[in-house]
Structures are given as C-alpha cells and as structure tokens.
Structure 1
Amino acid sequence: MAVYLPLEIVQSILLHADVETYIAARQTCRSWRCAASAPYMLKHALQQVPASIPPTVNSLSQDEWARYFAQITRLNLLSCRHGIQKSVTPVALPEECTPTTIVDVSADGRSLIALKGGRVTEYERATESSPWEYSRGITLCSQWTSVCRALLEGGAGCMSINQRYAKRSIAISSKRDLIAIGLGKTIQIYSLHHNDNDLMSPAEYGLGQEDPFTNATRGTYEDTDGVVDSLEFADDDALLRVAVTKETTVHQPNRVRYLGCPSLTTKPDLEYWRENIKRVYLDSAALSVALAGQDEYRLIFRGLRLLPSSFAAHQQQEQPSQDGQLPGETTRYFVASLQSGVIHSYCIGLATISTPQTVKIHRLLPSAYFRPSDGISGSRTANLPPFNSPFPTSKCEEQHTSYNLLDTIPRWDVTNLPSATFPSPLLALSSDSKILAIYEPSGNYSPTIISGGSVYIYCIDNCNPVYQPGPQRFKQPTGKTSLPHERADNPDDKFSADTRYPPPDIIPSWPFLLDKVPVDIEDLEVVQSGLGDTTSRTSRRCAYTINAHSGGQLLQWQLGA
C-alpha cells in the first residue's frame, strides 16, 4: 500500500503533483503529511502559486513554513475545488404563490412574505424543509397610493410605465417585524406588529427627493433619477440597502444606496425608520466621486455591499491604519466592482461617513484586468460540460450533480478571473466575512448565449491594506516585507515585526470559477454550513453553501472545507 512507501518515494510522487493535488495528498494520512511537510517540499509546491516568495523564507522553521503554507492555501481556496456538490431544485413556495409572485424569505428561512396588490400575506414553517403554512394577511392601503404615484411619474397613457415603474420589490427584516416595499421611486416600511396608525402611516422615502451629497463631494455628482430595483435590510435592520436602476445620470445605469443611521442606539423599529429613512448613509455614486476627485478617469463602483462592523474590528487586531487611526463608527469597509479607464477589479474599500467624505482602496482583488503576476495561461471560453447540465423542466424534478474543478480548469488559468466590467454584478458575503461570491451576467463571454452568467468565489479573509489613494493609489507599495521571524529595519515599516505571517500583498487572493449557468440569477447568498455540528461527516466537509435563485429554481453549490 502507498502508506508504507519510503519517505523519498512519496516525496518523488508529490514533486510531480499540482498544488491542489499536493494539498489533498497531504491530508490522506500521517506518513504522507510528514513527507509533504518538509520545508523543501512546501517551497517546491508554492512555486506553482502566483505569489512573490521572499528569499528569507529559507530560514523559516518547519512550523513557520506550515503556517505560511496554510495561509496561502486559505487565501487562494486551494482545498475548496474538490467534489463540489451542485443541486437544482424548485423553490418551495406556498400553494397560493407562483414563481412570479413577489416574495421574500427571512434570514432564518422560517418566514415568507408575499405581496399581491396592496395586500401582504405572511407564511411560516417550523424548519426549512417543512411546508409553508398561512399565518396572517395584512392590507396596506397606502400601497395603492404608491401605485398611483408611480403611474403619474411615468406619465399617463405612456407604455413605458410598465417597463420603468411596474417592478415591485419587497424585503423582510432579520427580526421578522418589518417589511420594506419599493415601487418606482417610492420606498415604504411597515411594521408587521401592526396597528391602524402603522398601516396608514408607514415610513416613506422617495428617490431623488434630496441631493445630500452635492456639498459633501468633489467633482461631479448627480442625485439619482432611477427607480428601485431591489431592497434588503442590513446591519441588524438599522440600514436598508437600495439597489437603484434605470438611471440616466452620469452614474448610469445603476447605483447602490444605504438608508438609515446605525450609529444610533435606538431600536430599529418603525419609529426609528420614520425618523431615519431619509438619511443617506452611503451612496456608491458619491463614493466614486470622492475617490476620483478631479482625476481624468471617471471611477465607478458597481454592486457595492457593506462589510459588517466585525470586519473592521478584525482589521484593527491585524493591523492599524498607516495614519494611526483605527476604523470606527465614522468609517466602513465595503466590497464593490471598481471600474475606470485605468483598472477593472473587485476591491475592498474604506469610506468615511462624515463630511467631507473620503475613500481609500484597501485592497484590489485579482481580475482579468488586474493580475498579481504574469504568465497566466488559458482563455475565457473554457469547455466545461459538467456546468451546463439541463435544468429541471417540471415542478417535481430535482437534479443533484457532483463535479471536480481540478479535472476541468487549471487553478491559475485566466478563466478563474472575473472581468469586473459588467454594470450589474451581484455580490454576496458569508456571515463570517471570509467568502465573497460574485455573479457576473453574461460572464461566460459567449456571444451565442444571451442569458446566464458565471459565479466566482473569492477569499477575503485577512486582507490587510495594500493600496492607498493618491497619485500612486494603484501602485503596489515599496518597502521591506517582514516575515514572522525577522525584525523590520525601519520602525515606520507598516509590515513590522508584529506581523504574524507574510502579508497578503505577496499572497494574492485568487478567485475560482464556481460555475457557468445558462439562466439569469436574481439574487445570491453565501451560507456557512455545518456550524456546531460535530457528528455529521458531511457537515464537516461542507464549509459553505452558495444559494442562487432564478425564477422558480433554487441553485445550490456546496463547497468543501
């Protein structure tokens, strides 16, 4: 048996393995792990990774080498492409609902709200696999006023009304006590713990009613003239994320705006939203203007999504900012697609909430137009037969497939890099802020396919600052890179002796192409799997589940740990 092979023979075999196979072999048994853990073997495996390995790593101890290797493995998700489990199932809806019904499900999966006309119906279930049961129905009289307003805004008798204003959006809060409804330019928030006054007087906000950033930003900023595309509660219901579409401003065709005031200690109930729904917390177009300033290239943030406050706390522990100030209530991290005449890349940014508003690029993530190293092989049109399997054709059909990306796409092939050029990408974050999933419409780059796109996965764990704003903000900083065992010559070196591991500027967080889908994805979600379950072998192997909805179908991908 291979387990009894001499150490030298095992190492000879491993020297011919790609880095992902090397990691899998290293986890098979104790003898193979021992053979694969020698510093020489680890260094040889890492030569396949597009990372700049400093020459000083030769003096690392075996334990330090193991930690260094583990960091590169984690940041590049080198153990997640084995045996991905994919399923396509019909979305479980109440009998009264159809795939075209406007619905939203609570974060715990136990409550569903459906909107029909001016009536909201709530359904509940004991578990995620239980059938939905009717709970109650609520009539929202003011919703009819919103419909009439949308018709007037669109112009009476105009056929474009249906295209521009007819789409309605709904969102339920994490505590299942509030709902937000968007139609045209109008957003209304109602309390499910209703009384007559709450139903007749919801919190209401209209897009384009105010221009809060005109005096707070440099350059050219225009308030939105678009309409609501989707709604989502965030920050324990203290913020409402509003995706705006169909703009005709310089920031067209869409933007993301966050409403609310999370710095207040007030409970985010209906009264809170009546007071704060008109407060614009962040606006992606304003952030673009604040970052660009008077640059000749116009910068645009697409698909912007705020990172939770816990991400800032983690960054404070890992590394303070260069100016000595730590992120707090007046600053927030975010992820977005950064598009300009200079670069197209997904990024992590840091924005100030105060006036005047400032933005720093915390980190640029590898993309097709921003690569951390040269010598990338492959093309954008890889042949991936397992990905385009037929979808269920009836309500009762269900499909489960398993595929191994190692058999189809080399890890460092350019196919794994998203383009970051599309105006409407979908971004989703895991609750631990370690995994970022991205859906790019038409991301398969096939001119014969008019629908569908590609799903990519990034690891953004432990992403310390690398890129700063200013004339050289897209240049990699110069200076010494400190390793765990050595001291920095310059006390001002941001990579000081306190750095536990080599910083991520020499370890790129490479994404990978999870799947190509022939249908348009409407929303994306990353769920941690198997938390707290130490008895299930399956749950230990599955670290994250990616959920996507398309019409009446639920697409799921389970990623190994």
Structure 2
Amino acid sequence: MAATLPTEITQSILLLLDAETFHNARQTCVSWSKAAFSSHVLRLQLLKTPISPPETMREDDDDGWWSQLFNQVARANNFGKRDHIDRRVRDRRRPRPAGIKAQRGGGVMVTSRDKKKIAVLKGTYLELHDAIDGSHAAVDVHLSRSLYPLWTAVARAMSDSTTAWMTMGQQHASYQVALSYTGDLIAVGLGSTIHMYVTGRLGEDEMPAAYVFGDNDRRRQASENEMEMDEVKGTIQSLEFAEHDTLLRVTVCHMGIARVLYLGNPSAQWSHASGSSVPSTIQYWKHNLNHVYLDSSRLSRLFSDNGKTRFTGFRLLIPDTHTVQNKSKQRLFAAGFQHGDESCYCIGSVSDGDQATVLTKLPARRHRLSEPWLKYFDPIDGSMHPEHSPEGGGPFLESDNIRFAKSRWDVSNMPAAASSQPLIAVSDDGILMAVYGPGEGHKFKFANGGAIYVYNIGCAPKISRTPSPDLVPGSIAPWPFLLDIIDDKPLSLQVRRERDSSGTQSQMVYIVSVETASEVIDWRIS
C-alpha cells in the first residue's frame, strides 16, 4: 500500500506533483504528512508557486518554518477549495411563496438580508410579504409621485412594472429596490431619484426620504476648505443597504462609466464587533440621505489629477476589531484600480479628506507583467495554447478557459480587471472576495455574460498593525481562481459565510451567489 512505502519513495512521488495537489496529498494520511514535512520537499514545492522568495528561501531553516510558510501560501491561494465547489441553479421566479404571484415582465422582487421578508414591485406600489408563506408582512407602500420626473409620461412609465422609459437623453432607467436588513425600510431608485420608505406604517401625510442627483448635491461638512462635490449624472443601476443600514450604496452609470456613492452619515464610533450603530430609522434617512459619505469618483480625482486613475466597483470593507479598538479613521475598501496602462484589483484605505491609498495590488492579467515576483515565476499564458478547441487550431470556446484554468497558475485564472463596471462582493469576515468581469471568459468581449473570479484577501497586507507572532516574512501573492463563466448579465453578486449542517459535521462554508434576470446561481465553497 502507498501508506507503507519508504519515506524516500513517498517524497519522490510528492515532488512530481504540482503545489495544490501536493497540499491535498499531504493531508491523506500520517505517513504522507510526515514525508511532506521535509524542508527539502517543501522548498522545492514553494519554488512552483508565485511567492516573493529571495529573503525567505533559506535552506538552513527547520522543517517547521518551511511548513508554516507553505501553509500560508496554501491559504492565500485557496488550495483545495476548487475541489469542493457545489454549483446550484434555481429559477429566479420559482419556487416562490404561494401568496406572491408572478409579475408581468418579470417584476422586481428583492429579499431582506435576514431572509424573512420579500418586497415585490407592482406598478406604483410595493408589497411586503413573509418570505416563508408569502403572507402580507406589512401594509402596501405606495410610491410617491415625486419619484417620477415631471417630463416623464406617467402612463407610459407605469405600463411596465419593471422599467420606465425616460425620454431625456434617450436613457433607459430601471426600477432599483433595496430592503434593509430586517425589511423595515425600503429604498427605491428610478433614473436619478431615490426614495426611502418605512414599512409597517405609512400614513397619507408620511413623506419618504428623498434624494435627487444633480439637484440637492451640496458641500459636505468634513472641511471648511473642501471643494464642492462633482455633479452626479446618469441613472441609478443598483441600490444596497450596508453597515447596519446606516449607509446606502448606490451605483450610478453615465456614458458607460459606473460611479459608486455611499449615502448616509454613520457615527464615527460605529462598531461591527460590538453591534452598536446609529439607529437606522426613516428620520435618520430624512436627515442624511443627501449626505455623501464616500464617492468613488472623488477618490479617483484626489488620488491623481491626471484623469487617468479610476476606482471601479468600489466597495467598503467592514471595519475589523483592530480598527475599532484603535479608533482608526481609516476605512478599508476593495476596488478595481485603473491607473494609466495598469489594471488590477486592489485593497486600499481612505482617510479623512477622501485621500485614498492603495495598500495591496492583487494579481490580474494585465497587471502581472509588473509583478516583482515574475522574475522568479512565470505563469502559463492560456492565450498561447495552440489547441483552443478539441480539434486544435479551431475557434476559441468558452469551455477552453475552464479547461485551462484547471492548472492553478494558468493565466485563465486571472481577471483582466479592465472593465469600467465590474461587480465586487466581499464576505462579512473580509476573507473571500468575488469579482465579476463583463465579457471575460467569452470569445467576444461584448458578450452578455462574463467570468467570476475568487480571491482570498484575508492574507493580503492591509492597515499596518502589530505583526502576528506566527507571521512568516515574505510577500505572498493571493492568486485568484476562475470560479465559473456565465452567459447572462448579473443583477447582483454576493458572498456570504454560512454554517452548513447538512453533512455529518457542521462546518462554515462560503456561498457565492449571482442573480440574473431569469435565475439565481449559487456556488458553495467548503
């Protein structure tokens, strides 16, 4: 049996494996684990990975040091995760609770994050339902007429429960709906207007919190000398409550360029660790919906005034315990980073005055040529494979990317990060990040769908803090991997961490979820 082989023979077999297969093999049994613990074996396996090795490749270190370094590389690059992915597809409209009927044109239906309430848009009003049995959870919310511009033909706008055609600039505006965590608040966006309503009670004299881009933009209060905010133009593409519902994340698109704004004015003492926050009520939003907390366009302009820098898909990361305890005024974010000819995804920080700093550049297809570790390790370039089809030399197929991506260091596992409208989602624990690149993975860049990639950003350097005693020196590149290629444009992208008790042992898993116009796709990563 393989378990009883001499250690030297087992080590010879292990050296023939790639780094990810080696990581899996060293966990099969005690004898293989002991054979893989050798510093000689670990050092040669690390040479097959994209780490920055000059200072770390020291042959005089003991086996434990090398094992610790390899474990960090394995975590950063999600070794073993690709072997435990369960893909599930379900119809976006079915099954649905019995009390909720299908809407003409697909309708707009959103679920609160606690999964207890569902909001359904029906013409000029919203219905709130219980997510289990479909029964009414609260009174219907009638949308205020002020949501629609005066120059819009109301009859035409209401003829479809999903979209309204706006004649100005020939722009197509769709209804965007977001529910707060428990479904107590509903945000509705149309064109350049946002309304916020409270559920459960709505008197005739109860006016919604309202904000109109380009109408009530005002000087922010952070500094006396701060410049006026740029005028926000375009149509609202997405709405999302964030951080205990004290922020509303809004994506606005104009001329193909997406801009992310965070509206609201949360307390400086906001703490995710303790659960304390400013009460998110309709009164809070009436006072703060017109306050721009962060603006990706402004961050880009202040980062570089040459007009060639852009933060795309901007997403704030939840403050960790260290940041809260030390009352740091810095906020971490994840975003696409386009600077001149460079395109990649990054982890950055933003401080008072909206000054952004890029802390970590994540490996990406166009960025990799400038990586310092490239002189030690050069990944396989998937675009250079001669057999783009089973017959060889034929047309490029989307399935080829999936096939090439089975090699952990193939460039097919790397996003191009060149899109102006990527989708970025990060788990609440700040570990797993998923990015969607429009057109990527397809034969034509203008394809309706795109590719989804996964990074482990938990190992990426962030705000400087006291080093962990078990941290091994060296720069470990958190390489992404290609999760899947989809054929439809996603409406949303989410990453959540859940406890899975379906097996013999309860474990925490990550769920990457994409919602399109017709279906919801979940990838369960254990």
CA distance in 2, matches of 1:278, 1:316: 26
User: Which residue pairs with 1:501 in the alignment?
Assistant: 471
C-alpha deviation, 1:512, in angstroms:
0.7
Separation of aligned partners in 1, 2:458 and 2:262: 24
Question: Which residue identity is paired with 1:104?
Answer: V
- Residue 316 to residue 136, structure 1, CA distance change in 2 (3 Å): closer
1:97 corresponds in structure 2 to: 102
Deviations 1:293-322 (A, max 9, x none): x4x452111110000012xx35789xxxxx
Change (3 A) 1:47 1:308: same
C-alpha deviations, 1:460-516, integer Å up to 9, x for none?
0032249xxxxxxxxxxxxxxxxxxxxxxxxxxx8998663235x611010011111
Deviations 1:115-136 (A, max 9, x none): 122211112134xxxx544434
Match of 1:351 in 2: 350
Is 1:526 the counterpart of 2:495 in the alignment?
yes
Q: CA deviation at 1:543?
A: 2.6
Q: Distance in 2 between matches of 1:407 and 1:341?
A: 30
Q: Specify the code of the residue in structure 1 equivalent to 2:212.
A: G
Give the 3 Å change call, closer, same or farther, for CA 277–551 of structure 1 in structure 2.
same
Distance change in 2, residues 1:172/1:8 (3 Å): same
CA 297–203 in structure 1, closer or farther in 2 if over 3 Å, else same:
closer
Aligned to 2:297: 285
CA distance in 2, matches of 1:272, 1:377: 53
Amino acid of the residue matched to residue 207 of structure 2? S
Give the corresponding residue for 1:333. Answer: 332
- The 8 Å contact of residues 291 and 299 in structure 1, kept in 2 or not, is answered as yes
1:192 aligned partner, one-letter code: T
Q: How does 1:157-556 map to 2 (within 5 A)?
A: 160=167, 164=171, 166-196=173-203, 200-208=206-214, 209-212=216-219, 222-247=230-255, 253-263=257-267, 266-292=278-304, 294=305, 296=306, 298-310=308-320, 313-314=321-322, 328=328, 330-352=329-351, 354=352, 356-371=353-368, 372=371, 373-374=373-374, 375-380=378-383, 409-447=406-444, 450-465=447-462, 500-503=470-473, 506-530=475-499, 533=501, 536-537=503-504, 540=507, 543-556=509-522
Partners of 1:276 and 1:381 in 2: CA distance:
53
Aligned partner of 1:138 among 140, 147, 159: 140
1:125, 1:132 within 8 Å by CA — same for their partners in 2?
A: yes
Q: 1:219 to 1:210 in 2, by over 3 A?
A: closer
Contact 2:404–2:412 (Cα < 8 Å) also in 1: no
Report the secondary structure of 2:83's partner residue: coil
State the TM-score, normalized to the length of structure 2: 0.84
| Whole-angstrom distance in 2 between the partners of 1:420 and 1:29 | 40
Q: Are residues 225 and 537 of structure 1, via their aligned partners in 2, closer, same or farther at CA, if it must alter by over 3 Å?
A: same
What SS does the aligned partner of 2:65 have? helix
Task: Flag the 1:496–1:204 CA change in 2: closer, same or farther, 3 A.
Answer: closer
For residue 140 of structure 2, what is the amino acid of its counterpart?
I
Q: TM-score, normalised by structure 1?
A: 0.79
Q: Alignment identity in percent?
A: 30
1:111 corresponds to 2:77: no
Q: Match of 2:444, as an amino acid?
A: P
Please give the secondary structure, in 2, of the residue aligned with 1:458: strand
Contact 2:294 2:354 in 1 (8 A): no
Question: Contact conserved, 1:388 with 1:517, CA < 8 A, in 2?
Answer: no
CA deviation vs aligned residue, 1:32-90 (integer Å, no higher than 9, x gap): 11111122111111111011222564343333332221111111111211142212221
1:24 to 2:24 alignment: yes
**Kept in 2: contact 1:220–1:289 (CA 8 A):** no
Change (3 A) 1:202 1:425: same
* RMSD value, Cα: 3.4
Partners of 2:405 and 2:413 within 8 A in 1: no
Query: Which residues of structure 2 form unaligned runs of 5+?
Result: 158-163, 269-276, 391-396
What is aligned with 2:81?
A: 80
Unaligned runs of 5+ in 1: 318-325, 390-403, 467-493
Distance 1:120 1:289, change over 3 A: same
Secondary structure, aligned partner of 1:151: coil
Distance 1:74 1:464, change over 3 A: same
Call closer, same or farther: CA 1:551–1:277 in 2, change over 3 Å: same
For the structure 1 residues 169 and 497, does the alpha-carbon distance in structure 2 shift closer, same or farther, using more than 3 Å as the test? closer
Counterpart in the other structure of 1:52? 52
- 1:120 aligned counterpart, secondary structure: strand
3-state secondary structure, aligned to 1:243: strand
Output the CA distance in 2 between the equivalents of 1:162 and 1:90. 34
How many residue pairs align between the two structures? 489
Residue type matched to 2:245 in 1? D
State the SS of the aligned residue for 1:451.
Answer: coil
CA contact (8 A) 2:213 2:233 kept: yes
